[in-house]
Structure 1
């Protein structure tokens, strides 16, 4: 049975810090960093925001977009690298906050930046097998980067929720198929009890991101017998602005295909929300009949590729909640001291 996206919602904190402000503190070359990363600024959570509150806000947005009864949701899965509790699920908090029935399955997912798309795949299986009516898949993060580390320039905050179901009268984008490519590549990790992740330098690019994204993308196109020319849009995981542009070119996609979903320059890397955020931004603009190709990447390492076809129902979801473009407008800029406070980088003894 065909599954698809019934609704989607996002949340982006209003606070931003510019790359040049972070560079000022650490004495780095802001112009070179901005050009190299293709990121100008990133989102910063408020003091009382975390992956759970962001997940709740994005889920409420998804429900409001389609006015779905939340008691129909039979599964809530939240993917994140920054769950507020080491032992205590984020997904139960979300389910309670949105008014979902207790008769559901809930769990937290972890697979670096592709935990959100892993949750989508799980919801697809449960919905297709008729074990649930609707599944709620979430990618939400308040990404971590050690002070002065390269990650600090891009690690951002935000989340996206997607309702997955099978009713053709409700689906706004059919999921034609999905394909995953996974290996044990230690390009990025964080041990229990450590406040910040570490990265494997040379493993981040070719052995990590590019090998897995191309592996999943080429695998899905081969499975579907499609080419980049068969798609109107394409979205790739956005750790920065450079990687998705490069991998798109490697695979044969054009700049015009990826530009609508390329939100990282004004947002930063929202980790588990990154690829989903690009898909959401693309759906905000897509028309019935448009085809969208998307590939998420998660360090450790793996990639999930998806092919979507937008349906006529997309028009019913317009103007119900804020678009990604609207959420990126009119931010409140903060300096490094306020940023450090918001990110709890200043610890009391």
Structure 2
């Protein structure tokens, strides 16, 4: 039985409200908030980046289950904002947590689903009994061009999951993926900010892939939406996951515990993973969770998790997602621009 042995999250404490961004660009904040269903987003501190966020999430995961770092055989970090073009984030995490030099490590990129790709890769090594534990991380400090629609939701955060076969808090019962070549969102080399393909971002990209992967998983397992207690989808905004859930037959009650975008924005590679962690913070033994990620370019990975009795023992050993939501400090647009490196001298 392969599953999640532990999990950990980190979200920066700084926030900026949608109103403060809208004011800067002369936009109507009420229209933007109702259109995106986002109130505010997380902003990294001046000394925070994808690597530091990944380290903090990994440390939380290790602490929650009292994992010996020497038992970790693989570390994979998924992100689209790695701090170095040539220098892996995974090795920084490995050194920070005290992992052995015998590990295999790599950085993953697949827009916002690189973290779930890391989970799948870790599952493979664990299933082959080549490693005891794999550490899969999704972390991002999302970037958006000043004044672009993406700026209202592009947030920051990370989630880490330890994958193994023993003492698991949630069994991974099955997974399915759906992948195509769809140019909905991209950033070329040496470009600071990404671009998006307008009409490609909705139906051809997010909805087609998210729904197709989820339907493939339901067909593969013979499960129905009513067989799940919770559902988590990638959250570029608040409307898309709600529409995807409704299309598939899931209810707002199943979706609500993992819907974090309203409070911290779209954390890209961490988006569905933080939603999963928030759901695990509330879930009871034997409850079932569907999680489907989405990454532009484009692809989705869908998973079925079955929570075990061990969740009750580990849940309180590391900060819950709700604690990060409550611990926050607000920035005005000038301070936000400084934190995000939008002002260059």
Q: Place the TM-score, normalised by the shorter chain, in its bin.
A: over 0.9
Deviations 1:45-103 (A, max 9, x none): 00000000000000000001011101100000000000000000000000010000001
Deviations 1:296-347 (A, max 9, x none): 0000000000000000111111211111011100310000000000000001
Q: Single out whichever of 42-51 and 317-326 deviates more from structure 2.
A: 317-326
Q: Answer yes or no: is 1:14 the counterpart of 2:5.
A: no
Q: 2:212 aligns with which of 212, 215, 222?
A: 215
Q: Answer yes or no: is 1:291 the counterpart of 2:288.
A: yes
User: Secondary structure at 1:226's aligned position in 2?
Assistant: coil
Question: Where does structure 2 lack aligned partners over 5 or more consecutive residues?
Answer: none
Deviations 1:171-223 (A, max 9, x none): 00000011000000000000000000000000000000000001100000000
Deviations 1:249-286 (A, max 9, x none): 00000000000000110110000000000000000000
Structure 2 residue aligned with 1:38: 37
State the alpha-carbon separation in 1 of the partners of residues 85 and 228 from structure 2: 40
User: Secondary structure at 2:8's aligned position in 1?
Assistant: strand
Which aligned pairs between 1:1-349 and structure 2 lie closer than 5 A? 2-167=1-166, 170-348=167-345
Size of the aligned set, in residue pairs, is: 345
**Deviation beyond 4 Å, 4+ runs, structure 1:** none
State the alpha-carbon separation in 1 of the partners of residues 178 and 315 from structure 2: 34
**TM-score normalised by L of structure 1:** 0.98
State the alpha-carbon separation in 1 of the partners of residues 24 and 253 from structure 2: 36
**TM-score normalised by L of structure 2:** 1.00
User: Secondary structure at 1:82's aligned position in 2?
Assistant: coil
User: Secondary structure at 1:33's aligned position in 2?
Assistant: helix
Question: Where does structure 1 lack aligned partners over 5 or more consecutive residues?
Answer: none
State the alpha-carbon separation in 2 of the partners of residues 195 and 332 from structure 1: 26
State the alpha-carbon separation in 1 of the partners of residues 300 and 267 from structure 2: 16
State the alpha-carbon separation in 2 of the partners of residues 294 and 236 from structure 1: 6
